[in-house]
A and B are shown apart, each in its own frame.
Chain A
Amino acid sequence: MSGAASLTGPAGGANAARRRRQTAIAWTFAAPFVIIFAMFMVLPIAASLGFSFTDLTAQDVRTPFNVDVVGLRQYADVLTDPRFQHAAGVTAVFVLAGIPLTVALGLALALALNSGVRRFKPVYRVAFYAPVVTSVVAVSVIWRHILARDGLLNMLLALVGVQGPDWLNSTTWALPSLVLMAVWRNAGTLMVIFLAGLQSIPPAVMEAAAMDGAGPWRRLRSVTLPLLRPAMLLGGVLISVGYLQFFEESFVMTQGGPLESTLSLTYYTFNTFGFGDFAKASAASYLMFVVIAAVSLVQFRLLRRAT
């Protein structure tokens, strides 16, 4: 039988000694990870929570004993800060508009790729997946160029007689522009997930539906989409964690503007940190964490059910 099982057998002197030895060996193997993990992950997570109850600023880092515990004041300050509320609204629009669009597009791509297409399949996969692997900073630079007033997009719109706006300098269009780029960047991820989902639908189910006289649309509506619902839900939750933290796009493309119309929650936290208000930044980051953890828990649930 397995080594691990025999070690958990009835407690005896020899077994206890062996288990102690195993414990020593195991922690030795885990040690490099545990040390780095404790120092740069667990400690910061705990410290962030600690900071959020104090009034720590950048100046205090040199003289740590100047710091006062202020309880929940930072949280109250953040929550009542109109800029934070605004940033939360911007992030909500980004997430709520971005997810359905990305899911719909990823689904369309997966369905098209799954409809018996054989030739050029790797080409399509590379094309739609390429944006996923690229640097957000680099693609933000490209899109800034495309969305400029005399940029590629408006040039194409002019060909069909439409006068496009100055996308990134318009308080109306800047945020939708960032959503557009996010959809372009992430649809490939969902395409891959949905394709895996589609391929796991047993052909027999489709054949049975066809035999019962269901046409292609009917099969899509009554068989494919219901069976794909878990994958769609998982995909949506999966990208939402990334969307909730969007930052680079607005940092490079709009600097949070115009008039803070693209100021995201991460941007707000980064700014607050930049002003030296470390405690307030920590409180803001923990508020984000609560939301992201809730979304992640849903994701974990879905993942466990899926596997």
Chain B
Amino acid sequence: MTRLRPARRTAYVLLTAGAAAWLAPFAWMVLGSAKTQDEIFADPPTWWPRSPTGGNFARWLTELHFGTFFGNSLLVAVLTVLGNLLFCSMAGYALAKMDFAGKRLLLGVVLVTIMVPGVVTFVPLFVIVAKLGILNTYGALVLPFLTQPVGVFLMRQFMLDIPDSLLEAARIDGASEPRIFTRIVLPLCGPALATLGILTFLGSWNNFLWPLVAGQSESMYTLPVALSLYSTGQYATDYGTLLSGAVLIITPILALFVALQRHFVQGIATVGLK
């Protein structure tokens, strides 16, 4: 083992202490989720659960329709990801590799809308969805998010680097545009599709304001909506239930993050926050 320079040793100490502090809330969540309600409010408080219980998780599975909420979150996220991968890459292809009337206008509108915060659209979105008669359905939760301008921009930027000569050669060989898109362009877009897919899944899984407004009956709650409403409603002080709910939302995304670390970090670095 090599001797560490003092600066590096200080860095190790600081980083380790910092990492412990950073992970402490998650650890506290896991410990709390295994405690009984009495133990959570015990004085003096305990560190480790005295008699670990799965009762808090069981409550989600029995009384609280966890299956419905989890299913809603997953269905919405998967459909949103599929829609974005397909539609954003198609539009991105047109914007990157074709010359057409209205191209500059379309690109301009896409770029401008990237800046519009969600709070601006949600009132009219609510009215539109109500007019369409799909309030409180999966349509309301999924349709508005099937594409996003930032996804189109991401795919376009990536596709600009695909050599035109490759596509031209395929055209000369008589390949149709859909065939070129599915056989040549998409396979080359793996990294961009992975980034877009991960960011979209993350955004959908954690999305809150719109599902809160558009899915008003319990059968339409996604996990964050269910957790937030319980945390302000009748379960407001039932920390065992709330913490186990937090575990159930966070664990899948954290597992995905640990598995696909590099893609996550690159994705956020490419597109910025959100």
Contacts and interface: CB of A to CB of B under 8 A. Distances in A.
Contact of A137 (B98, B146, B171, B208): B208
Contact of A112 (B14, B86, B116, B261): B14
A40 to B, nearest CB: 4
Interface stretch (A125-133, A205-213, A221-229): A125-133
Contacts of A203: none
A113 B152 CA distance: 34
Contacts of B98: 4, 22, 25-26, 29
Tell me the interface secondary structure of chain A in the complex. Answer: helix
B228 A23 contact: no
Contacts of B99: 4, 7-8, 19, 22, 26
B164 interface: yes
Contacts of A289: 116-117, 119-120
Contacts of A139: 25, 246, 250
30 contacts: A3-B97, A4-B97, A22-B100, A26-B94, A36-B143, A41-B144, A48-B121, A51-B123, A109-B18, A115-B11, A122-B261, A125-B261, A130-B26, A135-B250, A136-B206, A136-B208, A139-B246, A142-B26, A142-B246, A143-B25, A144-B231, A144-B242, A189-B268, A196-B269, A241-B117, A241-B273, A245-B119, A251-B232, A289-B116, A293-B116
Interface string B36-76: 00000101010000000000000000000000000000000
Contact of A40 (B103, B128, B258): B128
A104 interface: no
A138 B246 contact: yes
B175 interface: no
A29 B88 CA distance: 10
Interface in A103-155: 108-109, 112-113, 115-117, 119-120, 122-146, 150, 152, 155
Given A127-B22, A133-B254, A289-B117, A247 B209 contact: yes
Contacts of A36: 83, 87, 143-144, 146-147
B202 to A, nearest CB: 6
Contact of B147 (A27, A32, A108, A129): A32
A45 B113 contact: yes
A278 B122 CA distance: 10
Given A36-B144, A140-B231, 11 more contacts: A3-B167, A115-B7, A126-B258, A130-B254, A131-B25, A138-B227, A145-B32, A189-B273, A238-B272, A273-B126, A273-B213
